[in-house]
Structure 1
Amino acid sequence: MTPIKLSWPDWKYPEWIDEGYRTTRGWLEKKKRDDGAEGLWRIHNGLYDLTTWVDKHPGGKLWIKMTQGLDVTEIFEASHLSPSAEKILPTFFVREARISRNSPYTFHPGGFFRTLKRRVYEKTKNIKRGPSKRAIVLIDLFVVITLLLSIISAKYFNFYIGALTGIFLTGTTILAHNLFHQRDNWRMYYFQLSLMSVTDWRISHALSHHIYTNTRLDLEILLMEPLLQWFPKEQKNWIVKYGSWIYSPLFYCSLYFLQAFSRIICHGLEPEDLICIALPTTMYLFSGSNLLICIISWLWIITFSSFIFGVIGFNVAHHHPDIFHEGDKPRNDKDWGLNQIDAVNDRIEVAATFPWAHLSFGDHTLHHMFPTLDHDILSELYPVFEKTCLEFGVEFRFNTTWNLFKGQFHQLTRTLPNTVPRENITAPLKS
Structure 2
Amino acid sequence: MAPLINNSVVKNQNNNSDNVTDTKTLTSSFAGISRYTGERGLVHPSIFDWLIVKRRDDNIGNLWRVHDKLYNLEDFIAKHPGGRDWIEFSRGTDITEAFESSHFVNVKNVRQILEKYYVADDPSPRNSPYTFKENGFYKTLKRKAEPILKEVGMGLSKEAMLIEDSLFVTYMVLAVLGVWLNSMILQIAAGTVLGMLTVGAHNFFHKKDNWRIYYYDLSSLSSYEWRISHAFSHHLFPNTVLDFEVLLGEPMIEMLPIRPKYFIHKYIMPFVIDTLYGVYGLLQIVFRIISVLQGKQRIRPENLLVILQLFIFMQLAPTLMAGFQAWAVIISATSFWFAFVSNNSAHHHPHCFHDGDESRPDPDFGLCQLDATASKTDWYHRSLFSVLTTFGEHPLHHLFPTVCHGKLKYLKNVLNETLDEFSEELLQFTQWQLFVGTHQQLRRSVTHKFRKSQ
Same fold flag (TM > 0.5): yes
Corresponding residue to 2:142 among 117, 139, 148: 117
1:139 is aligned with what amino acid? Answer: E
1:173 matched residue in structure 2 = 198
TM-score by length of 2: 0.89
Distance 1:406 1:171 in 2: 22
1:40 matched residue in structure 2 = 63
2:256 matched residue in structure 1 = 231
2:55 is aligned with what amino acid? Answer: K
Shift of 1:299: 0.4
Residue 335, structure 1, aligned to residue 357, structure 2: no
In structure 2, do the counterparts of structure 1 residues 10 and 126 end up closer, same or farther at CA, with 3 Å as the change threshold?
A: closer
Kindly indicate whether the alpha-carbon contact (under 8 Å) linking 1:340 and 1:369 is maintained by their aligned counterparts in 2. yes
1:299 matched residue in structure 2 = 328
1:15 is aligned with what amino acid? Answer: T
Superposition pairs of residues 31-430 of structure 1, within 5 angstroms? 31-82=54-105, 83=107, 84-233=109-258, 235-267=260-292, 268-285=298-315, 287=316, 289-349=318-378, 350=380, 352-418=382-448, 420-423=449-452, 425-426=453-454
Percent identical among aligned pairs is 36
Distance 1:218 1:326 in 2: 10
1:340 is aligned with what amino acid? Answer: Q
Distance 1:59 1:173 in 2: 21
Shift of 1:280: 2.8
Shift of 1:6: 2.8
Kindly indicate whether the alpha-carbon contact (under 8 Å) linking 1:233 and 1:414 is maintained by their aligned counterparts in 2. no
In structure 2, do the counterparts of structure 1 residues 248 and 194 end up closer, same or farther at CA, with 3 Å as the change threshold?
A: same
1:284-314 superposed Cα distances (whole Å, 9 cap, x missing partner): 45x4532221111110011111112111000
1:31 is aligned with what amino acid? Answer: K
Q: Secondary structure at the match of 1:120?
A: helix
1:202 is aligned with what amino acid? Answer: R
Structure 2 unaligned blocks of 5 or more: 1-22, 293-297
Quick check: 359-368 or 390-399, which moved more?
390-399
Q: RMSD of aligned C-alpha atoms?
A: 1.8
Corresponding residue to 2:39 among 13, 17, 42: 17
Quick check: 63-72 or 81-90, which moved more?
81-90
Distance 1:11 1:5 in 2: 8
Shift of 1:3: 8.5
Q: Secondary structure at the match of 2:253?
A: coil
Shift of 1:234: 5.6
Kindly indicate whether the alpha-carbon contact (under 8 Å) linking 2:32 and 2:128 is maintained by their aligned counterparts in 1. no
Distance 1:195 1:369 in 2: 28
Distance 1:56 1:4 in 2: 37
Kindly indicate whether the alpha-carbon contact (under 8 Å) linking 1:36 and 1:42 is maintained by their aligned counterparts in 2. no
Q: Secondary structure at the match of 1:422?
A: coil
Structure 1 unaligned blocks of 5 or more: 427-431
Distance 2:32 2:402 in 1: 31
1:146-191 superposed Cα distances (whole Å, 9 cap, x missing partner): 1111111112211111111111000110111110000011110110
Q: Secondary structure at the match of 1:16?
A: coil
Distance 2:24 2:124 in 1: 30
Quick check: 260-269 or 317-326, which moved more?
260-269
1:323-376 superposed Cα distances (whole Å, 9 cap, x missing partner): 100000112221000000100001012554221111110000110111111010
Runs of 4+ in 1 over 4 A off after TM superposition: 1-5
Kindly indicate whether the alpha-carbon contact (under 8 Å) linking 2:25 and 2:37 is maintained by their aligned counterparts in 1. no
Shift of 1:218: 0.5
Kindly indicate whether the alpha-carbon contact (under 8 Å) linking 2:373 and 2:427 is maintained by their aligned counterparts in 1. no
Distance 2:451 2:172 in 1: 45
Q: Secondary structure at the match of 1:346?
A: strand
1:370-389 superposed Cα distances (whole Å, 9 cap, x missing partner): 11110101112110000000
Kindly indicate whether the alpha-carbon contact (under 8 Å) linking 2:187 and 2:329 is maintained by their aligned counterparts in 1. yes
Q: Secondary structure at the match of 2:70?
A: strand
Distance 2:283 2:377 in 1: 32
1:395 is aligned with what amino acid? Answer: E
Kindly indicate whether the alpha-carbon contact (under 8 Å) linking 1:151 and 1:282 is maintained by their aligned counterparts in 2. no
Distance 1:106 1:234 in 2: 27
